[in-house]
Amino acid sequence: MATVTLTIDNQKVEIEESATILDAAKKAGIKIPTLCYLEDINEIGACRVCVVEVRGAKALQAACVAPVANGMIVSTNSPAVRSSRRLTVELLLSNHPTDCLVCPRNLNCELQALAENLGIREVRFEGAKPSWPVDESTPSIVRNPAKCVLCRRCVAVCEKVQGVKAIAPIERGFDTVIAPAFGHEMIDAACALCGQCTLVCPTAALTEHDSTAQTWAALADPKKHVIVQTAPATRVAVGEMFGYEPGTIVTGKMVAALRRLGFDRVFDTDFTADLTIMEEGTELLERVSHGGVLPMITSCSPGWIKFIEHYYPHLLPHLSTCKSPQQMFGALAKTYYAEKAGINPKDIVSVSIMPCTAKKFELTRPEMEDSGFRDVDIVLTTRELGRMFKQAGLDFTNLPEEPYDDPFGITTGAAVIFGATGGVMEAALRTAYEVKTGKTLGNINFTGVRGLEGVKEATVPVDGIDVKVAVAHGLGNARKLLDKLAAGQADHHFIEIMCCPGGCIGGGGQPIPTNTEIRQKRINGIYAADERMAIRKSHENPAVQALYKEFLGQPLGHKSHELLHTHYTPRGKYPKTDK
Amino acid sequence: MAVATKKPSVLSKSALAKVDQIIARHKDQPGPLLPVLHALQAEFKYLPEEALVRVAIGLDIPLSKIYGVASFYTLFNLRPKAEHVIRACESAPCHVRGAKEVIEALENALGVKVGEDTRDGRFTLELSSCIGVCGVAPAIMIDDEVFGNLTPDMVPGILARFN
């Protein structure tokens, strides 16, 4: 590719001609501040925080969108640049609430960081403050437009990455607000509740619904037996909130910390991930041999489920009837576990730690009470869990590594990879191959379904059948597969779809920031955790085998149907108007 | 005088058929959204919510985006308005030439605040971005008619023409 050479702050930089000034500055080791910019997703030059001076240009240029040119002379730190950036940020602050000390994004807010980095010590302007109501209509996401800087990163991620388009800028000028159509509440929009918007919001305009107070209350209640399950993806991410590199496996410390918070039993969602493979694998074999609806599509990801219910309700018969591992766990905790431990299920409070905001919605679905009680009571995102550890004053880095409790703590490598895109597929292939052929796999690593490519396809020979599989992550990629399926062009047997880019490790409840680089590091952590496990195939999990023997009978048996399987609800694209 | 804001009504079958006709008429032209919204407003005097949902389906444009466009332009009505809509320009040229006083005179004469309808359903008073007649600032529009070079004392006479 042709390159150009330009001068930035007296340094010569050579870079490809399609680059922006922001790219060139980065290459030269100069950090230009940005706010609305989100690499590859939102490059609109709207906020003017990244302005630079280009010799000969009439006005300051937005570095994030200004293309480089040969011989260009750029200053990123001239008096005019500094003064313009300060003015812009002061104007943003002029109508921004000043309750930083009690804000959920305090110390992890890009606006706050900008004000600090630009050395702003006073705001010369006192603007009118918009008085939008806070939208707490969903159990997953809280929308507080008063804290919105109108950067449109949420709109871009919702449209371009997730293909959902639930929110857009409405009204104009000072009255502009990012909201669903007609200014409806989020609960009335065809929103998957994936929370990707909460990951990219630079401030606290979009945050997870906080359930920490409810959890503290349960932990303080001596009459309650409070149990907790931790999703695969949380163990390679929660450490980030305590200074660990993204992807560091902190499973043992997380378990120890949960015990110190006062949970009576610390269990692992990985256990029911293994169980999911047994149920879903059996369901797939059933469908293949009895002419059932194919391809079968995974059903672990509640954002994905809500998405298909809104946008492709006619394809619902393709979904596996398996509940997600979280909900399987919930149903078993208040039946099998309660019975085994001799505890009245009504005294159990079942908490889950999830990388996910949609899980908070999933637990409220009316059908999720097959145990006779609400199967899961509280979902905390990874972010909320990190906050609780801090509130408890835990010295996370110096905690010992502790094991999970029995019986829901015995798990396999196949379960931990549920946390990364392609993981459910790989776990299913490991089991399906061995169960169907009765042979042992030489190489259990199905690397063809791993990685961050949007849609991955593979063909795996199993017992004389070429099993065709596909994996998509991020709802925009899911759309591509579903459109093919709807057009009759998908001849797969089995499809894995995860709502969030990268799979659950990139979930909407994960630590902020979450970007492509961090996603890749967490994925590396997931596969490293798999390698460390003594057992790496779900059907070899002895606790799962015992569960079938003692309680469930067999996969897809009567008890399984009652507790582990579910049904779906067509919702339509325009839920409010259709009502 | 208190406000009487009309509630949007549910569209009849024939009205919905009309919406579908309008969509069909513009569907295949480039940039069909604005022409469809104009035609809907000409038909219903405002943009009913159900009609916009049909536009979303018919043109395959996200509803959030359609509402974003509809709410961006002050000339689109998102609720039923009174018989006559007064749009007072609030842009800078009108502002420096005394728009504030003219708007106050309108509020006093009508007994309503900006954004409200008169109780008798005759007038809706709204603000507007620039209406493009800065040479005769301050200016207002009543329905499609422009009135410029205004002073507060001219307001009652202008309103009387619509009574």
Q: Could you tell me if A154 lies within 8 Å of chain B, comparing CB atoms?
A: no
Cβ(B161)–Cβ(B146) under 8 Å?
no
Which residues, listed in sequence order, are joined to residue A230 by a DSSP beta bridge?
A268, A353
Assign A464 a pLDDT band (cuts: 50, 70, 90). Answer: confident
B127's tokens = 């603000």
pLDDT of res. B9: 57
* pLDDT reading at B3 higher than 50: no
Out of B57, B66, B72, closest to residue A181 by CB: B66
Looking at residue B26, its pLDDT comes to 97
A577 in reach of chain B (CB within 8 A):
yes
For chain A, give the percent of residues with pLDDT over 90: 96
Question: A76: phi > 0 → left, psi -120 to 50 → alpha, else beta; which?
Answer: alpha
Does A154 qualify as catalytic in the annotation?
no
pLDDT at A129: 86
- Using a CB-CB cut-off of 8 Å, the residues of chain A touching B47 are none
Residue A67 bridge partners (DSSP)? A20
Distances (CA, A) of B102 to B82, B105, B107: 20, 5, 9
Q: Is A367 a catalytic residue?
A: yes
Q: How far away is chain A from the Cα of B63, in angstroms, using its nearest Cα?
A: 6
Contact (Cβ atoms closer than 8 angstroms) between residue A281 and residue A431: yes
- Asked if the model's pLDDT at residue B74 lies above 90, the reply is no
DSSP A67: B
| Segment A123-140 mean pLDDT | 92
pLDDT of the residue at B100: 96
E-strand stretches of chain B: 84-89, 123-128, 140-142, 145-147
B7: pLDDT strictly greater than 70: no
More confident site: A129 or A255: A255
The pLDDT tens digits of the residues spanning A164-197 come to 999 999 998 889 999 999 999 999 999 999 999 9
- Residue A337 CB contacts under 8 Å (≥ 6 apart), including other chains: A227, A343, A348, A407, A408
Mark whether A283 is an active-site residue: yes
Residues A49 and A43 sit within 8 Å (Cβ to Cβ): no
Distance from CA of B157 to the nearest CA of A (A): 32
Q: Is the pLDDT score of B1 beyond 60? A: no
Interface of B with A in 42-71 (CB under 8 A): 49-50, 52-53, 56-57, 62-68, 71
Residue of A53, A110, A309, A362 marked active site: A362
Which of B64, B74, B129 lies nearest to residue A181, judging by beta carbons?
A: B64
Question: What local confidence, expressed as pLDDT, does residue B2 receive?
Answer: 39
Compute the nearest-CA separation of A485 from chain B (Å). Answer: 19
Question: What's the length of chain B?
Answer: 163
pLDDT higher than threshold 50 for residue B4: no
Mean pLDDT of A105-134: 94
Contacts of B50 in chain A (CB under 8 A): 577
Q: Which residues of A touch B74 (CB under 8 A)?
A: 172
Mean pLDDT to the nearest integer, A388-400: 98
> Residue A170 is nearest to which of B49, B57, B67, comparing CB atoms?
B67
Tell me, what's the pLDDT at B8?
A: 54
Write down the catalytic residue from A39, A116, A367, A550.
A367
Percentage with pLDDT > 70 across chain A? 100
Domain segments of chain B: what residues?
13-72, 84-160
Token pair in block for residue A459: 């063909």
Q: Could you tell me the domains of chain A?
A: 3-93 (3.10.20.740), 130-209 (3.30.70.20), 212-564 (3.40.50.1780)
CATH, range B84-160: 3.40.30.10
Chain A residues touching B79 at Cβ < 8 A? none
Chain mean position to CA A36? 21
Q: What's the CA gap between A155 and A170, in Å, rounded?
A: 11
Q: Does A574 contact chain B (CB < 8 Å)?
A: yes
Q: Which residues, at least 6 apart from A348, have a Cβ–Cβ distance to it below 8 Å?
A: A224, A225, A226, A227, A333, A334, A337, A338, A373
Residue A195 phi/psi, 5° resolution?
Answer: 80, 10
d(CA A409, CA A431) in angstroms, rounded, equals 20
Q: Per-residue pLDDT for A255 more than 80?
A: yes
**CA A569, A573, A579 angle in degrees (round to 5)?**
70
Looking at the complex, report in whole angstroms how far the Cα of residue A366 sits from the nearest Cα belonging to chain B: 28
Chain B contacts of A168, Cβ < 8 Å? 62, 64-65, 67-68
Q: Interface pTM (ipTM) of the complex?
A: 0.91
Chain B residue whose CA is closest to A159: B62
The residue among A182, A307, A573, A576 with the most chain B CBs within 10 A of its CB, best to mutate, is A182
pLDDT on residue A247: 98
Q: Counting beta carbons within 10 angstroms of the beta carbon of residue A71, is it exposed (0 to 12), middle (13 to 18) or buried (19 or more)?
A: exposed
A483 in reach of chain B (CB within 8 A): no
pLDDT tens-digit map of A520-572: 999 999 999 999 999 999 999 999 999 999 999 999 999 999 999 999 999 99
Known catalytic residue at A359: yes
Residue A578's pLDDT is 66
pLDDT greater than 90 at residue A151: yes
A189 contacts B71? CB cut-off 8 A: no
CA distance B62 to chain A (A): 6
Q: Look at residue A264 in the predicted model and tell me its pLDDT.
A: 98
Please indicate if any CB of chain B lies within 8 Å of the CB of A435: no
CA–CA distance, A164 with A181 (Å, rounded to integer):
13
Q: Does residue B6 have a pLDDT over 60?
A: no
What amino acid is encoded at A193 in this protein?
L
- Selecting from B50, B67, B72 the residue whose C-beta is nearest the C-beta of A181 gives B67
Strand order in the sheet with A61-62: A11-16, A3-8, A73-75, A51-54, A61-62
* Cα B124 to Cα A548, B102, B148, distances in angstroms: 70, 15, 19
How far apart (Å, rounded) are the C-alpha atoms in residues B52 and B44?
A: 12
Centroid of chain to Cα A231: 12
Tell whether B83 lies on the interface with A, counting CB pairs under 8 A: no
B101 touching chain A per CB within 8 A: no
How far is it, in rounded angstroms, from Cα B59 to Cα B78? 19
Q: What is the mean pLDDT of residues A393-418?
A: 97
Residue A502's nearest CA partner among A488, A484, A514, A490 is A514
Does the pLDDT of residue B163 top 80, yes or no? Answer: no
Q: What is the pLDDT of residue A131?
A: 82
Residues of B in contact with A159 (CB under 8 A): 62
Q: Does B10 touch chain A (CB under 8 A)?
A: no
Q: Is A362 a catalytic residue?
A: yes
Nearest CA in chain B to A180: B64
Kindly name the residue from A359, A456, A521, A537 that is annotated as catalytic: A359
B63, B74, B91, B127: which to substitute to probe chain A, counting the most A Cβ within 10 Å? B63
Option in A170, A573, A574 nearest B71 (CB): A170
Query: Stretch A451-478: mean pLDDT, rounded?
Result: 95
